[in-house]
């Protein structure tokens, strides 16, 4: 079955990012397809490459990036939510004249249309948030 | 249409579970996870309400989130089925759609 996943909460806030990650891992293990993971609202904070959690803690951004690399996941960060929170890729950095970019590997910045498409193309849309 | 309702808030913190139980159609399923697992525990102010709602809904609770909170599967209200993440995924495929009560 094809799944669309929505993550509305940042890492280390409550549990949404962890729950979504565990759900995606279980779904992949069962042979399901993850059409897209859409990071919206504070969820875009999952996509920063600048997080440095303690070494004995899980690194959620790395986990998402690793999963994306291994399974070819499409990790989409909402552009408007990302700009507000200082999550930029190289293009956005240039467009807004900023001095740095921080989008983690495996993530890409796009718009809400990607969420709508995910809802249309997926058999199930599962939302994780606060 | 069979709907899986997911509730991730303790009934002592938010009214997500109460809203869900007020509005969900009979025959639906409810999965309690994250802090929502508190709603599956026996001997709380909400236990009776949940036990009564079991006439209309099938209840599930995510085991790993029970353990993560130092709670015990033995304390889960009789009739609520404990599932793991694989069970969570199966529940979403067995129902037509998923409604997250955030």
What percent of chain A has pLDDT above 70? 100
Predicted confidence at residue B49, as pLDDT, reads: 97
Contact B18, B39 (CB under 8 A): no
Stated length of chain B: 102
Distance from CA of A127 to the nearest CA of B (A): 6
Q: For residue B69, give the nearest of B40, B46, B45 by alpha carbon.
A: B40
Structure confidence by residue, pLDDT tens digits, A99-125 = 999 999 999 999 999 999 999 999 999
Does the pLDDT of residue B1 top 90, yes or no? no
Among B3, B89, B91, B96, the strongest candidate for a mutation testing the A interface, having the largest count of A CBs within 10 A, is B89
Which stretches within A30-125 are classed as H helix? 60-71, 79-84, 90-95, 113-121
Range A7-25 average pLDDT: 97
Structure confidence by residue, pLDDT tens digits, A19-71 = 999 999 999 999 999 999 999 999 999 999 999 999 999 999 999 999 999 99
The pTM of this model reads 0.97
Which stretches within chain A are classed as H helix? 16-29, 60-71, 79-84, 90-95, 113-121
What structural domains and CATH numbers belong to chain B?
3-101 (3.40.1260.10)
Distance from CA of A7 to the nearest CA of B (A): 11
């Amino acid at each position: 079955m094809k799944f669309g996943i929505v993550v509305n909460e940042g890492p280390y806030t409550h549990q949404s990012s962890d729950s979504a990650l565990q759900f995606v891992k279980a779904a992949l293990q069962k042979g399901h397809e993850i059409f897209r993971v859409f990071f919206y609202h504070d969820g875009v904070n999952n996509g920063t490459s600048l997080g440095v959690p303690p070494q004995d803690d899980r690194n959620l951004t790395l986990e998402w990036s690793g999963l994306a690399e291994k399974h070819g996941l499409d990790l989409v960060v909402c552009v408007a939510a990302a700009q507000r929170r200082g999550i930029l890729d190289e293009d956005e950095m240039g467009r807004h004249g900023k001095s740095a970019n921080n989008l983690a590997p495996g993530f890409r910045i796009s718009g809400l249309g990607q969420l709508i498409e995910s809802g249309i193309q997926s058999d199930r849309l599962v939302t994780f948030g606060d | 249409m069979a709907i899986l309702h997911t509730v991730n808030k303790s009934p002592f913190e938010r009214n997500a579970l109460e809203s869900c139980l007020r509005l969900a159609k009979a025959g639906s399923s409810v999965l309690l996870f994250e802090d929502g697992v508190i709603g599956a525990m026996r001997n709380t102010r909400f236990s009776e309400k949940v036990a009564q709602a079991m006439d209309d809904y099938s209840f599930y609770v995510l085991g790993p989130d029970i353990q993560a909170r130092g709670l015990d599967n033995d304390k889960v209200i009789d009739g609520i089925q404990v599932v793991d993440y694989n069970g969570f995924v199966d529940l979403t495929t067995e129902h037509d759609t998923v409604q997250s009560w955030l």
